[in-house]
Every structure is written in structure tokens, then in C-alpha cells.
Structure 1
Amino acid sequence: MLPRPLQPWGRLCRWSNPFVQLLALTVVTFGVLAPLTCDQLLYSYYFIRSWYLNPMSQEFVKQNQEDGLSALRYFERLQTPNTSERLGSEVFHPWLLITIITVQRPPEFHYVLQVASRFHRLLQECGPPCRHHQILLCNVETDPGSHQDAQLLSNFMAVVNHYGGHKKVEPGMNQFEKEKQDYTYCLEKSLQTYDPEYVLLVEDDAVPEEEIFPVLQHLLQTRFSKAHLRDALYVKLYHPERLQRYINPEPMRILEWLGVGMFFGSLLGLAYAWASGRSSLVWPIVLFFAVYSMLLVELVGRHYFLELRRLAPPLYNVVPVTECCTPAMLFSASSARRALGYLKELRCRRGFAKDTALYSLLRVRGERAFVVEPNLVRHVKRNVLLIAPTNPSRKGKD
């Protein structure tokens, strides 16, 4: 007797059928492997908040306290230099001036000491390429003498105080306007005192990454010599990790996301064709792997995908800026003067903080600004608080 012809559903369920193979790959990847390997990644969709958020928060707080004590011991071990030997006290017109804006914070974390010790160490390790870099501490505490960490740092680097003596906070000034005026004071004082080529304005809870100076060297000497980047109003070195996803109201990332799909779709399609013994690619297979790659990168977390760019300075990305936030901002001397002029004409308030004010200038004044990816600083305060809202489009202030 002749065998009965295979029914359509039978042919469909055979393991050699590409549909069955790709369906199995999808189920195993997104239903088994990704949940098992990404459940502790804070910025992944697979992160299980109810299991890991509280213990992870406690661990971050503990680690941050230890880092603060390590930073304190770092400066205590240093031999206090003479005034003429302080880092940045007698050197004018540096190529890059690193201005750390500091205010009194919870003393157990020693935020500013963490930032200053990392910059100090990295400058020592950098050697000749960083010989024209300097550090300035800008103390914006209303009672500057009460800021003990700033007093300690005055033994090792130049310090300027916004308040003290006859300078007081204006009565009735809101906190957002005060922060803006502190920011403009530190930027203006940096220009007046040192006349640098570039100013890196860093808040005292933004710890630099180890590779910050080689990357900045590459960006400023190579990438920002191009006409479309040269005249930027500012360059952000930090954007909150929770706002770095592809599904976010920032259109430039959609183009990147599509590029990821096209590249990995073709690559995985070729690998599948080779493994299955097929002689050529077919567009449905490529399309499947493009969507597969895009979903995988988004669900696991774009933040972790960006970390691959740390392999070398040329791999860092420079894209149009987004609104939030200001832990680390790079200005050229000319752009700093423009930003100062703009900001002095604005008054900040709740809902219109200094980061929003700076971003609003791009449209009003016809300026351009950019952000570097991945981040070149780590926001300590964010790691302590561990606020990771499930809504990626929420642009809360950091």
C-alpha cells in the first residue's frame, strides 16, 4: 500500500521546517534564557523588582559608604602640598579645566571626596597627555566653612566660594533659581580665573569613569574638529540609564535600533543559512532575525548594549542631546560664554530647572548640543537611591 500523503499540518510540525525552528528559538530565548540571565539587571525589562530591588539598594548604600571612606583615606594619605604645589593653584590657561560644583551633603557618603579623589588619581595616572588639565573646586554651600570635605580638599586644589562675607542668598529665591545661579557662578569663575580652552562642569555626585580622559582627548581633538560638532553649545557626558531605552520619545534612537536589526538580522540570517545547509538568504529569514535582534537588545537593555562601546575611544557615540540632566557638562570657552549670557536672562522655577533651561535654549537660540554614549560619569546618588521607574518616558530630574 502506498503511504498516505503528509497532511499540511504534518509538514508544518516537522523539525526541519524553518517555522518550527525559529519559533523554538524565540520561545527558548525570550521565555527561558533571557529571564534566567537578566533577572538581576537593573535596567532590563526582565529585572524582578520585588526580589532584588531592596537587597540591591542596601548593597549600593553599603558600597557607597565604603567608597566614601576610601576617598577620605585617599586624601588623608596624601602629603599635604605647599600652596604653590596645589593641583591647579598656579597653572593658568589649561586646556581642560575640571570644575567640581559642591554643596554640603550627607557626611557619611563623602560625595565630593569620591569625585575629587577619582579625578585626582586619574590625572596622576594619565601623565603627559593630561599635563594641561586642572581641577577647581567650586563651593556653593551658603555657609562655606561648614562644608568640611571642601575644607579638606582646599589643601590639595584651588577652591572658590560662591557665598560668604557680604555675598548672601537673595531672600525668597527658590531652590531651582539658586541652583542655576550657583551653576553660572562656577562656570563664569572658571573662565575668569583660568581662561581654559574647555570647561568640564561636574556636580559632586558624578564620579568619572576610568576611561574619561582618553575618550575626551579623542573626542575633542578628533571628533569635535568636524564642522557640525565644533560649535555645540554643550556636550553632556551623562544621561540616566533608565532613559536610554529605544522605546523612548527620542527619534534618533529609532534609526539606531533599525540599524541594529539590519546588521544582526543579516549576520544571524547568514549563520542560520550556513547551519541549515541553505545556499542563499531569503528575506523572511532576515526579517525574522532583524526583529529578533531588535527585541532582544531592547528587552535585555540598551544600556548594556552600549557598554560594548567602552572597548575603545573611537567606538563612543555622539548623538543629539536629550533634556535631562546635568551631572557632567562639557563647554568650550566660547560656548560657555554664550551659555552664561543665555542663562542670566532666564529665571528657573519648579518644572523649569537648569537642565530644562539649557535644553530650551537649543530651540530658542538655534543652538546645537550633543550627548556622549555610553556615560563618562557614574551618578552616585542615583545608585544609592536606585529609582528605576517602569515607565521609560518619565523624565524625572536626577
Structure 2
Amino acid sequence: MASSNWVCCKFTFLKCTRCFGIQKVLKVLGIFFSIHLITFHLILPYALRDHPYSSYFSPTWNVYQRALGLNEDRIKMAEGYLDTVNAARSREMYSNTNRAKFVIGIVTVARVSYEKSVPQPRYLTQVVAKVHKLLAESPSKLDYQLFICNVDDQGSSHSEAIYLSNFTRMVTKNENGNSNFHSRQNRWEREKLDYNYCLEQAWLYDSKYAILIQDDAVPHSNFVEVLEYLVSNHLEYRIQGGRLSQNLEKWAWIKLNFPENLAGFLRNWRFVLEWISISAMLASIFTLFVSCFYRYKSPVCFLYIMFLLSLYFNLSLTLAIGRPFFINIGNQYKYSYTIKPATSCCLPAVLYPSKNIPGILKYLEKTKCNTNLPLDFALPNYAEQSGMKEYLASPNLFTHVGMYSALNHRINSRTAWAYLKEV
């Protein structure tokens, strides 16, 4: 492959030197490499040093402290909103299990900061407040039910969840503590059992769709609007042949978040195709501009070599900037969202058709999760065996803000920059 590319480039270069002149070709190459040098060694290291997903990320400020500061800001906003809510009326609204189109369950365990000098992270407060606010402001709020699923080993000691149960319904798996049983399970199996419990509780609502959210996944401000758009125009129906028709494909679930720190262009072959497509589009636009500007002066071979040089430049540029920047362009508009095939990782927020839940529960009951088969790897096995597709919403509808891991009981300080996004 590499040898064929070299032969092609050599042939193009020789052809251009014949029809355009070797001095002009060398001049173009000189200008190109000068621009390349200035861009990637002078401009981008300065422009992208504070951009977390770029290859030049090297901030002058403390990443960990910035992440803590943003978390405190979110807590204050959440508390400010909850102070304006009529708790009794809110609890009454979400205290029943009347059938709704969507039921949202927030899976939670008590989290600590692991540092005496650092306040409690209070992720659950942030998530409940944000979801509650978005539903309250939505014209379709009657289509939603909301509950907290408390799966802490000592459920009655999860004080944050108990306080928030004043605003919405809460179910508790281990009301009086179940630590002896949990101590006999590995942490991956415990996670599966907890998730199964919450998924079953969501299924009991008899809604059309169930959404399970981890207590450190904060929804974006357009979550409700985009969710309803995706369900109506990409999942239940699709545009085929210029008209909206029913989607007959069998699908197991749609993930509403994929970790942006794992979303680099070189992560998998689909992302590589995106990288090449974006770069080729930018190179085509540049070549078109050159052809219009030098309409009567440039031979075809010159435009060809300009396209190749521009493609190389844009491949390097987009890789340096990072994929998350490009997929988040226009994410405030619902029409910019689409669905793609999902990967195994991860489960911060997932929408399930309720009709699929009994089969999922039955499959997971027979599956033993461990370090080689965590929950987010076991679920794709079910989809494959059932002949159903997995989807991923793109861009993300949630931001994973949990720097303090409840599963691993440690601080994810090495990836703290992943939690710097304003929500």
C-alpha cells in the first residue's frame, strides 16, 4: 500500500514538473512546508494548549483543581434550582408509576471525595436538579416519569439520595444494608446486579422507553428536545426515499453518551473514516477555491497536487485538534444529531425499548460478569445473539462528570481533563 502511494505521488510530481515547470512546483512545495512548519510548531501549540482533546494539550493551570472548581460551580447551580422547587408538588408528580412514554431512572451509590480537604462531589444532586429542570420546562413533561434508584450497600445511609427523594420517587435495593452479600461478589458482578435491579424497576412503570442514567452523567440543556427528535425521526421512523416511513430494524438500545477522551480519530475504523472524510472535504473546498481564483492560469495537474498537499495538511490538522471538536460542531441544534453503530463502552446513559428489558434481564441473570467481561461488554453479546442492533447518539447528550469512581474507589486524576467541559 505504501509503495503504491509512493509511486502515485512520484508520478504526480513528475507530471506536474513537465506541464507546470519544476521551479514553480518547487516554489509551491516550499510555501507549503513553510506554512506547515509555522502552523504546527508555532500557532497550534499556543492556540490548542488549553483544549483538552487536542494533541497539544498542555495547560498552564492545574487540571485537577480546575475540574474541582467546575464541579463546585455545578453544585451551586443545582442547589439554587432546587431551592425554587416546590418539593411536595414535585414528589406528588413523580410518586406514582402511571404509564408514560419515557421513564428515567438515575442509578446511584454514595460517593466520597477520598480527600479530607475536598468537599463531597454530590454528582447525584447535579443530575437530579438538571433532569428535573429540563422536564419541568418541557412542553411534553407529562410524557416522563422520574425516579432515583439507590443501590448503595447501605441504602439508608445514602444521605444525598434520601434528601433528593423529597423531590422525586426513590427505590432502594439494600434498605437495611446488604454488605455481607456484596462482599462475596466481585465488583463487576455487583455492578451488574445493581444495574439489573434498576432496569427491572424502570420496566415496572410499563412505559414505552426506559432510560437509565448513572448518577454522574449530566444531561445537556437540549436533552429532551433532541431525545424526542431522535426517537421520532431515527428510531421509530426514518426518512427513506424522501418520505418518513416506519423503521423495521430490530434494535436493542441507544447509548446517549460515549466518553470523549476515548473518541479520538484513531480509536476504531469508523472514526478513521470520519477523519479521512472531514480532511478530504476541507481539502476539496480549498482546491475549489484555488481553481476559482486561478481559473485560467492553473493546469489540472497543479490542482491535483494542491489537493494532495491540502489533504495531507488537513489530515494532520484535524488529528491535532481532535475528533470531539468536530463532532460537537452545531450540537445545539437537534437536526445535527444522528445515530451510529454503538461500541461496547460505556453505560453512563442508555435508552431501552421496554419490550426488550425482560430478555436483557433474563440474559444478564445467566451471565457472570468479571474483569474480562464487564457489564458494558456483556450487553453487546446479548444484542448479537438476539440479532438486534446497538445504536449511539452522536454528538453526546450527556457529559460524564464523575472524577471520583464508585466502582474502582479511586480518583481518576490522570483523566481529570475529561471532566473539564462546561455543562
Which shifted more, 296-305 or 251-260?
Answer: 251-260
Partner of residue 254, structure 1: 272
Letter matched to residue 43 of structure 1: Y
SS in 2 for 1:101: strand
Cα 1:91–1:364 shift into 2, 3 Å: closer
Shift of residue 235 of structure 1? Answer: 1.0
Q: Is the 8 A contact 1:141 1:162 kept in 2?
A: yes
Letter matched to residue 329 of structure 2: L
Which shifted more, 25-34 or 14-23?
Answer: 14-23
Partner of residue 238, structure 1: 257
Partner of residue 310, structure 2: 289
Letter matched to residue 283 of structure 1: Y
Letter matched to residue 328 of structure 1: A
Partner of residue 222, structure 2: 211
Shift of residue 243 of structure 1? Answer: 1.2
Once the two structures are superposed, the pairs formed by residues 33-72 of structure 1 within 5 Å of their partners are 33-48=43-58, 51-52=60-61, 55-72=62-79
Residue by residue over 1:107-130, the C-alpha shift from the partner in whole angstroms, topping out at 9 and shown as x without a partner, is: 72211010000001111222x233
Partner of residue 396, structure 1: none
Shift of residue 183 of structure 1? Answer: 0.4
Distance in 1, matches of 2:309 and 2:358, equals: 51
Q: What RMSD, in angstroms, separates the aligned Cα atoms of the two structures?
A: 2.7
Return the match for 2:414 from 358, 363, 387. 387
Which shifted more, 266-275 or 378-387?
Answer: 378-387
Return the match for 1:330 from 344, 351, 354. 351
Shift of residue 170 of structure 1? Answer: 5.0
Shift of residue 89 of structure 1? Answer: 1.6
Distance in 1, matches of 2:147 and 2:69, equals: 29
Q: Is the 8 A contact 2:211 2:349 kept in 1?
A: yes
Cα 1:387–1:209 shift into 2, 3 Å: farther
Return the match for 1:298 from 291, 297, 319. 319
Is 1:263 the counterpart of 2:281? The answer is yes
Distance in 2, matches of 1:131 and 1:291, equals: 52
SS in 1 for 2:350: strand
Is 1:164 the counterpart of 2:175? The answer is yes
Distance in 2, matches of 1:86 and 1:230, equals: 38
Shift of residue 367 of structure 1? Answer: 2.8
The normalised TM-score by structure 1 is 0.86
Return the match for 1:182 from 167, 183, 194. 194
Long gaps (5+) in structure 1: 1-7, 391-398
Return the match for 2:137 from 109, 119, 125. 125
Residue by residue over 1:280-336, the C-alpha shift from the partner in whole angstroms, topping out at 9 and shown as x without a partner, is: 752222222223222211111111111104042121232111121111111111222
Q: Is the 8 A contact 1:202 1:329 kept in 2?
A: yes
Q: Is the 8 A contact 2:369 2:378 kept in 1?
A: yes
Distance in 2, matches of 1:229 and 1:56, equals: 47
Long gaps (5+) in structure 2: 1-17, 113-118, 239-245, 405-410, 418-423
Cα 1:70–1:258 shift into 2, 3 Å: closer
Partner of residue 27, structure 1: 37
Cα 1:12–1:40 shift into 2, 3 Å: farther
Which shifted more, 377-386 or 352-361?
Answer: 377-386
Q: Is the 8 A contact 1:87 1:135 kept in 2?
A: no
Identity of aligned residues (%): 26
Q: Is the 8 A contact 1:87 1:158 kept in 2?
A: no
Shift of residue 166 of structure 1? Answer: 8.9
The number of residue pairs the alignment matches comes to: 374
Distance in 1, matches of 2:178 and 2:248, equals: 38
Residue by residue over 1:212-243, the C-alpha shift from the partner in whole angstroms, topping out at 9 and shown as x without a partner, is: 11111110000112477852211111111121
Cα 1:317–1:289 shift into 2, 3 Å: farther
The normalised TM-score by structure 2 is 0.81
Partner of residue 377, structure 1: 398
Q: Is the 8 A contact 2:153 2:177 kept in 1?
A: no
Letter matched to residue 261 of structure 2: R
Cα 1:79–1:184 shift into 2, 3 Å: same
Distance in 1, matches of 2:92 and 2:272, equals: 48
Distance in 2, matches of 1:238 and 1:25, equals: 37
Shift of residue 30 of structure 1? Answer: 1.8
